[in-house]
């Protein structure tokens, strides 16, 4: 089950990106990354605040549900579906920290459609591969013990490729730039100690 704090972080991230147009869905078409989107109301009245934009990653903080949530967030640099041009909701990758729950650098992906039940999302960072479990339209690392290694690999990498399969059988491949991730994570760590 998703923890309440995670649901709040997810809702805050979704609210921030609600104003960002959906990415183009053709093969290898470039999606526009959000550059300082206007904050939207979070559950409990919290407002996400942009702490800084670092390359392709934004650092955000919000107070919601009685606790502070900080996260680094990016949208894909490119995305494609097979079959081509399948519609999707906004797609993004974020790394959240919820100090009140003792959660630091939790990696998650919102894939933009309902994922196939009992499926996995595959992640590649250079030659490193990670597997994420799925629920609804989200995915989280399957082996929590690998999360810190995944973060370190992301900090050193150039990009990350996320592949998944929808409940209708559509396959998606999303490529995220990792430019600015380290700075965004450092900023969120400073904000959410």
Q: Are 35 and 135 in contact (CB under 8 A)?
A: no
Domain residue spans in the chain? 4-191
Long-range contacts of 131-140 (CB under 8 A, 24+ apart): 132/107, 134/164, 135/2, 137/89, 137/110, 137/111, 137/112, 137/113, 138/10, 138/108, 138/109, 138/110, 138/111, 139/108, 139/109, 139/111, 139/115, 139/164, 140/106, 140/107, 140/108
pLDDT of residue 57: 98
pLDDT of residue 133: 96
pLDDT, one tens digit per residue, over 66-95 is 789 999 999 999 999 999 989 999 999 999
pLDDT, one tens digit per residue, over 10-33 is 444 444 433 232 322 222 222 333
pLDDT of residue 2: 39
pTM of the prediction? 0.78
- As a whole-number percent, the residues of the chain with pLDDT over 70 amount to 76
Pick the CATH number of 4-191 from 2.30.40.10, 2.60.40.1880, 3.40.50.150, 1.10.10.60: 2.60.40.1880
pLDDT of residue 12: 45
Residues of the chain short of pLDDT 50, as ranges, are 1-45
């Amino acid at each position: 089950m998703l923890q309440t704090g995670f649901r709040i972080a997810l809702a805050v991230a979704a609210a921030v990106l609600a104003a960002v147009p959906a990415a183009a869905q053709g093969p290898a078409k470039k999606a526009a990354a959000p550059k300082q989107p206007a904050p939207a109301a979070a559950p409990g009245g919290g407002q996400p605040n942009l702490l800084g934009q670092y390359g392709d990653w934004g650092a955000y903080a919000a107070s919601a549900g009685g606790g502070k949530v900080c996260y680094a967030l990016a949208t894909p640099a490119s995305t494609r579906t097979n079959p081509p041009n399948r519609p999707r909701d906004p797609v993004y990758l974020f790394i959240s920290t919820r100090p009140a729950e003792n959660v630091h650098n939790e990696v998650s992906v919102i894939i933009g459609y309902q994922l196939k039940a009992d499926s996995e999302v595959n992640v590649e960072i250079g030659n490193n591969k990670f597997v994420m479990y799925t629920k609804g339209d989200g995915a989280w690392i399957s082996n929590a013990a690998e999360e810190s290694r995944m973060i370190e690999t992301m900090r050193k990498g150039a990009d990350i490729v996320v592949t998944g399969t929808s409940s209708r059988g559509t396959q998606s491949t999303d490529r995220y730039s990792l430019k600015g991730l380290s700075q965004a994570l450092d900023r969120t760590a400073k904000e959410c100690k």
